[in-house]
A and B are shown apart, each in its own frame.
Chain A
Amino acid sequence: MVIGGLTPEAIAFGFFTILTLGGALGVVLNKNLVRGSVWLIVSLFGVAGLFVLLSAPFLAAVQVLVYIGAIGILFTFAVMLTRSMTNLRQRFTSQWWSSLIVVVLLFVVLMAGVVVPVWGNARPEDASTVVATTVDLGVALVDGNQFVLPFEVASLLLTAAMIGAIVIARQHEEE
């Protein structure tokens, strides 16, 4: 099925690209950080859509749950708990123009690396139609020959980070 010369997949890709980059632009440019965190959620949703197009539905679901559900809400809370942000006088630091030059240069280098095959061929022949499923990912994460050690280390890191966050953000009322 082709609509106007574009396959539905290309249309979905364009839609999610607009969501991703438009949301990121909203994060960069927005003065009000409550709106900025909503734009961040829009951008993360676009990335989740791109994950679906790349046939990684589990990662898309995790992206929606962890990023939009947890991190987005966490950012909204942080914005509201530190109230000076909505009336911060300037959005950007004084070196905004030099960082703009650096970022534009970085973008040019990255795009050159993507489009021109400097660091190896970035345009392989069409992707294979045989794709591993969520079952394979689940098995790989607990398989002793694959990723069980990083899996356990990640859970330990997460526990340590949560305890650390509680300790850092706690009020020290005894002092």
Chain B
Amino acid sequence: MVPLWMYLAVAAALFCLGTYTVLSRKNAVAVLMGVELMLNAVNLNLVAFWRFQDPLNMAGQAFTAFVLVVAAAEAAVGLAIIIAMYRSRRSVAVDDVDMLRW
């Protein structure tokens, strides 16, 4: 069987790619895609630890299911906010939405 650290390494790389997308992309939709990648890396970690540490305790899979639910809610609300933002500002660049900056 493929060892645990390989799954963790894949999840770490996926998380870092998602983080870079969130930090560096200009487009708000791309930022949300980065958040999805990060949540997927977390899910992969949860399932890998569940499989290798305690495969009879359902906590790992149950938490993964909840992360999925939260990700779906986050995507729906986030994209609705982006569409509302596009209506009022005619832009989806994160730099253009700085009305709350002090």
Residues of A whose CB lies within 8 Å of any CB of B are 9-10, 13, 17, 20-21, 24-25, 27-28, 33, 36-37, 40, 43-44, 47, 50-51, 53-56, 58-59, 62-63, 66-67, 70-71, 74-75, 77-79, 81-82, 84-85, 88, 90-93, 95-96, 99-100, 102-104, 106-107, 110-111, 114-115, 122-124, 126-128, 130-132, 136-137, 140-141, 146-147, 150, 154-155, 157-158, 160-162, 164-166, 168-169, 171
Contact = CB atoms under 8 A, between A and B. Distances in A.
Interface in B31-65: 32-34, 36-37, 40, 43-44, 47-48, 50-53, 55-59, 61-62, 64-65
B77 A168 contact: yes
A115 B94 CA distance: 36
B24 A79 contact: no
Nearest to B87: A171
B14 A24 contact: yes
A134 to B, nearest CB: 9
A131 B56 CA distance: 6
B5 A88 contact: no
Interface size classification for chain B: 35 or more
Given A20-B14, A103-B19, A158 B26 contact: no
Given A66-B72, A84-B92, A124-B52, A78 B29 contact: yes
Interface of B: 1-10, 12-21, 23-27, 29-30, 32-34, 36-37, 40, 43-44, 47-48, 50-53, 55-59, 61-62, 64-66, 68-77, 79-84, 86-87, 90-95
Nearest to B55: A131
